[in-house]
Chain A
Amino acid sequence: DIQMTQSPSTLSASVGDRVTITCRASQSIRSWLAWYQQKPGKAPIILISEASNLESGVPSRFSGSGSGTEFTLTITSLQPDDFATYYCQQYDSYPRSFGQGTKLEIK
């Protein structure tokens, strides 16, 4: 089974900052990686698919990169609405797996 490891677990930042979250897979998942945003009490929403494909309606300040085993989610110019928890998920094979999450907090 593929294990997904995110870092950091918590990230403190200010409005306007640029932040990067890393996700590592225990084996190659090619580009079959998605990023989700989740706010407290709400279901996750899809931000990025296939490692770097920005989903419709997602602001362009979000971007993803990587392939194989190492991936990043970057948010430029943080907005108040971006403070949330972010998860990566591999969909290269079953069982699917998520990273443990990165909580983005206001500094």
Chain B
Amino acid sequence: DVQLLESGGGLVQPGGSLRLSCAASGFTFRNYVMSWVRQAPGKGLEWVSAVSGSGDQTYYAHSVKGRFTISRDNSKNTLYLQMNSLRAEDTAVYYCAKDRGWNLFIDYWGQGNLVAVSS
């Protein structure tokens, strides 16, 4: 079974940094695009970023471009999201997600990890 387990969330001050991790299992990690999607409290889903299976292609939402960096370590089956210059509006549950295939949709989601940006 596909499992995606996020970690690394928590409370951080505005302007601070945080790195989320997502440990994947149950599939051949290096073969799949992986994504991050977030959901602010009481709000809808917002796509954040995606990375190709090899890690050489990355994509970002305008709201995070230049501040967030997505990466992966295929030897560890782990996805990362480095978040810098955090703002209050970045407060959200962050979901790690697996795409069905190249240029396809998300078919599995992690359980989510809360990031709270507040002084």
User: Interface of A with B (CB < 8 Å)?
Assistant: 1, 32, 34, 36, 38, 43-46, 49, 55, 85, 87, 89, 91, 94-101
Contact = CB atoms under 8 A, between A and B. Distances in A.
Given A49-B100, A91-B104, A97 B109 contact: no
14 contacts: A34-B106, A36-B45, A38-B45, A44-B106, A46-B105, A49-B105, A85-B44, A89-B45, A91-B103, A91-B104, A91-B105, A95-B47, A95-B59, A98-B37
Contacts of B61: 95
Nearest to B46: A98
A18 to B, nearest CB: 24
A62 to B, nearest CB: 15
Nearest to A100: B44
Contacts, number: 56
B112 interface: yes
A87 B44 contact: yes
B54 interface: no
A-B pairs, 8 with minimum CB distance? A43-B109, A34-B105, A94-B59, A96-B47, A101-B44, A98-B45, A91-B105, A100-B44
Contact of B45 (A1, A87, A95): A87
B50 interface: yes
Nearest to A6: B44
A101 B60 contact: no
A43 B105 contact: no
Given A46-B107, A95-B62, A98-B44, 17 more contacts: A36-B45, A43-B95, A43-B112, A44-B45, A44-B109, A46-B106, A49-B100, A49-B105, A87-B45, A89-B47, A89-B105, A89-B106, A91-B103, A94-B59, A98-B37, A98-B46, A101-B44
Contacts of A38: 45
B111 interface: yes
Give the residue among B59, B60, B106 with the most A Cβ atoms within 10 A: B106
A28 to B, nearest CB: 16
